[in-house]
Structure 1
Amino acid sequence: MSRIQLVRVALAAIGLAAFAGVTPAAARDYPWCAQGGEYDYPGECAYGTYEQCQASVSGRLLFCDRNPRFAYGLDRPPQPRPHRRARAVAPY
C-alpha cells in the first residue's frame, strides 16, 4: 500500500469512529419556563435558574414561571423509538 492509501484508510477510520460516538440530542425540560406571547402552556422550559429565565424574557413581553413537570412531579410519557431501516450495501 502506498502512503496516500494508508492516510486515506486512517482518515476513514477516524471519521467512522467519530460518527459512531454521536448520539441524538435528547429533549430535556428545565425547572423554569418562559411563558406568554408566542409560547403555549407550559412555555419554553429551557432555563435552569430563575435568573436565566428572567434574562431571556427581558424586553420580550414574557414572564417566568415554574415548569409544571417539576412543580407537580409530572413525568413525560416515554417517546416511541424511531423505526430503523436497513440500508442496502452497494457492492464495489
Structure 2
Amino acid sequence: MRTSQITMLVLGAMTLVGAASITPASADPYDYPWCAQGPSLGYPGECAYRTYEQCLASVSGRFLACGENPRFLFSEPSPPPRRHQRRHRPVYPD
C-alpha cells in the first residue's frame, strides 16, 4: 500500500512539472514573404508561403487572395554574421 502511494505521488509530481514546462504555441509560427489573405484569416493573414506561386496554389478555391507580408517587407534586415578573425602569433626566426 505504501509503495503505491509513493508511486502516485511521484507520477503526480512528474505530471505537474511537465505541465508547467509547456509554453503556448506561437500564433504565427511562420513569417514568410507571402500571405493568404481573406476575411476569415484576419490581417495580415496566413503568412506561410515562400513564393507567390505557393500562395496561389494554396488559395485556389478558398475565396482568398495572396498579398505581401508587411512584417516581412518592413522588418529590419538581420545583421550579417560576424566572422571570427584568427590572430596569428608572430614567428621569430631562431
Q: TM-score range by the shorter chain?
A: 0.5 to 0.7
- Kindly provide the CA deviation profile for residues 35-59 of structure 1, in whole angstroms up to 9, marking residues without a partner as x: 24545553x13314232x3343121
Mapped contact 1:37–1:61 kept (Cα < 8 A): no
Structure 2 counterpart of 1:61, one-letter code: F
Alignment correspondent of 1:26? 26
Structure 1 counterpart of 2:63, one-letter code: L
Aligned partner of 1:68 among 67, 70, 76? 70
Cα separation, partners in 2 of 1:37 and 1:5, compared to 1, 3 Å: closer
Q: Does 1:45 align with 2:46?
A: yes
Mapped contact 2:47–2:69 kept (Cα < 8 A): no
Distance across 2 between alignment mates of 1:22 and 1:16: 10
Structure 2 counterpart of 1:6, one-letter code: I
Distance across 1 between alignment mates of 2:39 and 2:73: 22
Aligned CA-pair RMSD? 2.5
Structure 2 residue runs without a partner (length 5+): 77-94
Amino-acid identity (%): 42
Cα separation, partners in 2 of 1:45 and 1:20, compared to 1, 3 Å: same
